[in-house]
């Protein structure tokens, strides 16, 4: 049960989808460019698409050593210094609330939850922990907003 979504969360997701407020997209995120928003480029079944977003929450799967992840998105973010592995190579260098740390400073624009926080929070791979992290991050983003670009 620790790795399954609670039924109340599933209902919220279904309701948001029915109201056309939430769209779940399948694909591999290939690139993020920044200006006023994050411009995301991703591929689904070989077809490339683009979307704009106000915030990015990293939910990449179980490989947690970001220096070994061979994905264009991760390589791009690392090469630009926007993210870096934590000192134990268990995830991304970040604060417990999910703000990534770039050049010793909190990003304020790039956030992570789940496995990528394993080096900071350790218990960060099961649904109860990820659900709490997502809730706290959502509340923080809604109450504080995003900084100006």
Residues 6+ apart with CB under 8 A from 36: 149
| pLDDT (tens digit per residue) in 47-77 | 999 988 877 766 655 677 888 888 888 889 8
Total tally of structural domains belonging to the chain? 1
- Would residue 4 count as lying in a domain? no
* pLDDT band at residue 19 using 50, 70 and 90 as cut-offs: very high
- Would residue 92 count as lying in a domain? yes
Distance from C-alpha of 101 to C-alpha of 27, rounded to nearest angstrom: 26
Q: What is the mean pLDDT of residues 119-125?
A: 81
Q: What is the mean pLDDT of residues 1-20?
A: 82
- Would residue 63 count as lying in a domain? yes
- Would residue 26 count as lying in a domain? no
* pLDDT band at residue 12 using 50, 70 and 90 as cut-offs: very high
Distance from C-alpha of 3 to C-alpha of 25, rounded to nearest angstrom: 21
The position carrying tokens 């099961």 is 126
Residue 102's H or E segment, with its range, is strand 99-102
Q: What is the mean pLDDT of residues 72-89?
A: 89
* pLDDT band at residue 1 using 50, 70 and 90 as cut-offs: very low
Sign of CA dihedral 44, 8, 53, 76: negative
Q: What is the mean pLDDT of residues 8-22?
A: 88
- Would residue 48 count as lying in a domain? no
- Would residue 49 count as lying in a domain? no
Which residue segment(s) compose the domain that 121 sits in? Answer: 55-142
Find out whether 102 and 80 touch, Cβ atoms under 8 Å.
no
* pLDDT band at residue 3 using 50, 70 and 90 as cut-offs: low
Mean pLDDT, the chain, integer: 83
* pLDDT band at residue 147 using 50, 70 and 90 as cut-offs: low
- Would residue 50 count as lying in a domain? no
The position carrying tokens 């659900």 is 131
- Would residue 96 count as lying in a domain? yes
Buried b (16+ CB within 10 A) or exposed e, 44-59: eeeeeeeeeeeebbbe
């Amino acid at each position: 049960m620790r790795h399954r979504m609670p039924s109340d969360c599933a209902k919220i997701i279904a309701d948001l989808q029915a109201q056309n407020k939430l769209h779940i997209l399948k694909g591999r995120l290939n690139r993020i460019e920044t200006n006023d928003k994050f411009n995301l480029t991703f591929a689904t079944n070989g077809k490339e698409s683009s979307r704009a977003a106000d915030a990015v929450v990293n939910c990449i799967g179980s490989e947690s050593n970001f220096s070994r992840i061979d994905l264009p998105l991760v390589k791009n973010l690392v090469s630009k210094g926007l993210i870096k592995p934590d000192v134990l190579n268990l995830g991304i260098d970040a604060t417990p609330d999910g703000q990534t740390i770039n050049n010793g400073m909190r990003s304020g624009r790039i956030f992570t939850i789940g496995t990528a926080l394993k080096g900071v929070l350790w218990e960060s791979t099961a649904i109860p922990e990820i659900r709490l992290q997502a809730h706290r991050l959502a509340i923080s983003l809604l109450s504080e907003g995003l900084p100006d670009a």
